A = this chain, B = another copy of it.
Amino acid sequence: MAVKYKEIADALEQEIRSGKYDAARKLPTEEELITQFGVSRNTVRRAVNQLVNRGYIYQVQGSGMFLRDKSATDYINLGSLRGLTKDLSPDRIHTEVLDLHTMEAGSETAGRLNCEAGTMLYYIKRLRLVDEEPFSIEISCFNKNIVPYLNKDIASSSIYSYLIDDLKLSIGFADKVITSDQIGVVNAGLLQVKALDPALIVENTVCLTNGTVFEYSQSIFHYKKAKLLNRISFK
């Protein structure tokens, strides 16, 4: 990390999640944070801003910085990178790799990944279980020029940890398109619902900080189990 405002933001996030401010439901004043962390006011404010964007707190001019009501658990936060892996406790999640192979991009996939048709990519289909019950199906395509290697082992834990910590990719931004549709027979079987039952679908296009698309994925969620959460603040 080595960047002050992010370190402070992460420290405060930890404190909030640990329940340190649950009694007061209020953060220390900017002045206090300035002396506590020994940085300038601007740096404190940038850190605090992260917490606002992450949905933890809201600021009231003249009054203070307050905790937002805790969202009930079991929500998948649309604003964070790691869908399941961050929001649910890791021991509740299991991943079954149904398919993993390399292939050439067809014209449709090439369009989505913003690359030439014929570009090599990894195709992965996974079934994700929460508390041993089928929760979602994830079909992902990674541009192999950017993600040169993947295997079942990596795919069965958190791919994103591998991309960030090992491949040192710096992920910049993403588009998520959310829809609902009738589920097909095959996927219905995997999720143990009936064919034509509803499915909650999230299409995800992810880019590096330099703007290159490296992943396109589609997640199909069990309609009775999945709840997506989006926390926004206007300022």
Contact = CB atoms under 8 A, between A and B. Distances in A.
A209 B176 contact: no
Given A173-B231, A211-B60, A200 B182 contact: no
Interface residues of A, number: 47
Contact of A200 (B179, B230, B234): B179
Contact of A199 (B79, B172, B180): B180
Interface in A172-212: 172-182, 197-200, 207, 209-211
B58 A181 contact: no
A212 to B, nearest CB: 10
A232 B174 contact: yes
Contact of A81 (B79, B221, B234): B234
A232 B179 contact: no
Contact of A232 (B71, B79, B180, B234): B79
